[in-house]
Amino acid sequence: MTAAIIDGKAFAATVREKVAGHVARLKEENGITPGLAVVLVGEDPASQVYVRSKGKQTVEVGMNSYEHKMDADTSEADLLAVIEKLNNDPAVHGILVQLPLPGHLNEDLIINSIAPEKDVDGFHISNVGLLGTGQKSMVPCTPLGCLMMLRDYHGSLSGMNAVVIGRSNIVGKPMAQLLLGDSCTVTIAHSRTKDLPEVVRGADIVVAAVGRPEMVPGDWIREGATVIDVGINRIERDGKTRLVGDVDFESASKVAGAITPVPGGVGPMTIACLLANTVTACCRANGLAEPEGLTA
């Protein structure tokens, strides 16, 4: 079998198009422009690239982008004051504090100071609780992107066996909640899981979010299964730097029914879902109907 490729880059473009259409309608019919504020503390190069890309894509879909760059030695009180200001600013519908934060700042405290309804990363404890209890919430962008691609490919996920490898708060756990919400039978695997290959072989859907290059080989994959590879790992091969996932694409694509590539799979969906969450937050803040298909 040769797997169908789930093209995240193309799918992300359709999500951005939907977002842009909705933003245009909000402006025209309601005189509202959704706004996304991104707070970056310090000069981590990867974070800078990511924040630039977010700002650019925010503007491209017609939304307002606000960037707050703060020094690496910013105090907790100063950062909290900026967040408080954004919480109270009606032009700001989404707030994202770029992680990781410098070590002297308490990440949990900072994230939980964001107004939950503006928490477009979905990391606030209220949103975690709402998602866990099946209520309307802000859903973390990366797992939301995975869910959108799975729904698009399969239609209904009801009754499917899903194995999520990884139990982080930003990917593994919310992914498992979302799959459970769509009536999958969900197993969460991690570094202490016994006989991981056998666990993965039972899956109709495998979501790999581990951070270990090409850890999941094709012979762990059940024939015809759908494989979502969240991993982004930079490796040296043949004297070149390359990006690879947590799944060995070469062998897995020979047995899987469908698979996301790296790059070009889950990655592009993450920012697209951030934009989707901002529009959703804007609609909720204004008591307007939410766009269809842009949240869980």
Angle at Cα 149 formed by Cα 228 and Cα 249, nearest 5°? Answer: 30
85 binds ligand NAP (CB under 6 A): no
Out of 253, 270, 280, 295, the residue judged to bind ligand NAP by CB under 6 A: 270
Burial class (CB in 10 A: 0-12, 13-18, 19+), 251: middle
211 binds ligand NAP (CB under 6 A): yes
Cβ 18 to ligand NAP, closest distance in Å? 19
| Of 234, 294, 295, 288, nearest in space to 25 by CA | 288
Rank residues 142 and 177 by Cβ distance to ligand NAP and give the closer one: 142
The footprint of ligand NAP on this chain (CB under 6 A) covers a number of residues equal to 25
267 binds ligand NAP (CB under 6 A): yes
DSSP state of 121: T
**Residue 234: what are its φ and ψ, rounded to 5°?**
-95, 125
d(CA 43, CA 72): 7
Strands 233-237, 205-208: pairing kind: unpaired
Write the binding mask 126 to 165 for ligand NAP: x where contact by CB under 6 A, - elsewhere.
----------------x----------------------x
Strands 205-208, 161-165: pairing kind: parallel
Write the binding mask 191 to 210 for ligand NAP: x where contact by CB under 6 A, - elsewhere.
xxx--x------------xx
212 binds ligand NAP (CB under 6 A): yes
Rank residues 114 and 266 by Cβ distance to ligand NAP and give the closer one: 266
- The residues that are catalytic are 54, 98, 121
- Beta bridge partners, 231, equal none
231 binds ligand NAP (CB under 6 A): yes
Cβ 218 to ligand NAP, closest distance in Å? 17
SS3 of 11, please? helix
SS3 of 37, please? strand
95 binds ligand NAP (CB under 6 A): no
Rank residues 142 and 253 by Cβ distance to ligand NAP and give the closer one: 142
d(CA 184, CA 33): 37
65 binds ligand NAP (CB under 6 A): no
Q: Which two tokens stand for residue 236?
A: 């040296």
Rank residues 106 and 191 by Cβ distance to ligand NAP and give the closer one: 191
DSSP H or E run through 246: none
Under the rule (CB under 6 A), what is the footprint of ligand NAP?
A: 142, 165-168, 170-172, 189-193, 196, 209-212, 230-233, 266-267, 270
